[in-house]
Amino acid sequence: MVIRHLLLSFALAAICAGPVLSNELRAPEEVLSDLIEKNESSYLTQSEQNIMMMPDNAALWLADEGKALFYEQRGPNNVSLETCDLGKGPGVLEGAYVELPRYFADTGRVMDLESRLVYCLTTIQGFADDDPTVSTRHGSSSDMMKLQTFIAAQSSGYAWNPPMEHPLEKAMRDAGEVLFYRRAGTSDFSCGTCHAATGKRIRASVLPDINRPEEWTKAISWPAYRVGQQNVRSSQHRVRGCYWQMRQPESIAGSDAAIALMSYWTDAARGQPSILPDKKR
């Protein structure tokens, strides 16, 4: 079984590597328990049940399916995605996701995982924009979620490290910060209303604080299986959901506004290990 194989290699890596470094593949449940051990955070510990179920996370199955899709010859061009460059060279997946969003010279844009995948699916495999492989962005049964979960899992345990060398990366991150704190709409909310203080709750749910990288890493560790929705969800799905709850307009996937926001929120978790795939309420 590929999952068992994956877990075995995580276990072997853990045994062989000795002291844990921030840049090696680690099983998500191990990353989380390590974070909990080192940090006092009611956000990280809020669901004992979810923590217990991490090794049986349904998102691990999706990562398996995504792996098969990634290496399969598909689309009008009948080629695999092995030449897809996610920022660290064609086909290099390990540690690639924690360095997104980043600037890509071939498009002249800062791109997140989802927009980069769309680019690879359309330019390499030749899928049309309205092909369900490209256009269906949400739900565990979508190719998009399978591929995103597989690719992201190849960074589990790696420290978030979005590059800021290119001026556009910095510009997008800074605009994302403005978007994060920008109050608007009929409820006067911004992302900062809920995510700029530690240990606060909405109803019974503990909120993650963007000012605490050690808990914010879990907040941005998408894809994650959302127990309440029984689906694996993406970063973009979280952004859309937050704007919906804030009573503000629908965020458009792949737009520079969405990518800027992700640039800021990824930068805020810099240095902390990713938990991929994660499991959330």
Partner 1 sequence: MKTKPHTPALLAALLTMAAAGSASADSADGGAPDYTAMSPQALAEYLIFEAGGFDLDAPTQEGGTARDRMVQDEIQQICTELKLSGKPLDRATAARISALADESMKYPEKGIALGDWKKGEQIARSGYGFRIGHRNDDHAAEEPGGNCYACHQLDPNEVAYGTVGPSLAGYGSLRGTSDAMLKHTYDILYNAHLYFPCTNMPRFGYHGTLTEQQISDVMAYLLAPDSPVNQQPPATAER
Residues of the shown chain interacting with partner 1 in the complex, contacts defined by CB under 8 A: 107-109, 167-168, 170-172, 174-179, 181-190, 192-194, 196-197, 199-204, 207, 240, 243-245, 247-252, 255-258, 260
Using the minimum distance from each CB to partner 1, give the nearer residue, 96 or 210. Answer: 210
Whole-angstrom Cα distance, residue 5 to residue 259? Answer: 34
User: Using the 8-state DSSP alphabet, how is residue 81 labeled?
Assistant: S
User: Rounded to the nearest whole angstrom, what is the least distance from the CB of residue 213 to partner 1 in the complex?
Assistant: 17
- Distances in whole angstroms, Cα of residue 139 to Cα of each of 129, 201, 209: 18, 27, 27
Is residue 242 part of the annotated active site? The answer reads: yes
- Distances in whole angstroms, Cα of residue 208 to Cα of each of 40, 137, 195, 223: 12, 25, 6, 17
- Indicate the length of the chain as a whole number: 281
Using the minimum distance from each CB to partner 1, give the nearer residue, 71 or 244. Answer: 244
Choose the catalytic residue: 16, 84, 120, 242.
242
Using the minimum distance from each CB to partner 1, give the nearer residue, 82 or 188. Answer: 188
User: Rounded to the nearest whole angstrom, what is the least distance from the CB of residue 4 to partner 1 in the complex?
Assistant: 37
Using the minimum distance from each CB to partner 1, give the nearer residue, 29 or 169. Answer: 169
What count of Cα atoms within 13 Å lies in the side-chain half-sphere of residue 1? 7
Using the minimum distance from each CB to partner 1, give the nearer residue, 31 or 260. Answer: 260
Whole-angstrom Cα distance, residue 104 to residue 95? Answer: 16
User: Rounded to the nearest whole angstrom, what is the least distance from the CB of residue 204 to partner 1 in the complex?
Assistant: 4
User: Using the 8-state DSSP alphabet, how is residue 231 labeled?
Assistant: E
* φ and ψ at residue 174, rounded to 5 degrees: -70, -40
User: Rounded to the nearest whole angstrom, what is the least distance from the CB of residue 77 to partner 1 in the complex?
Assistant: 23
User: Using the 8-state DSSP alphabet, how is residue 159 labeled?
Assistant: B
User: Rounded to the nearest whole angstrom, what is the least distance from the CB of residue 281 to partner 1 in the complex?
Assistant: 13
Whole-angstrom Cα distance, residue 91 to residue 111? Answer: 17
Q: Which single residue is written with the structure tokens 């330019």?
A: 123
Q: Which residues are catalytic?
A: 242
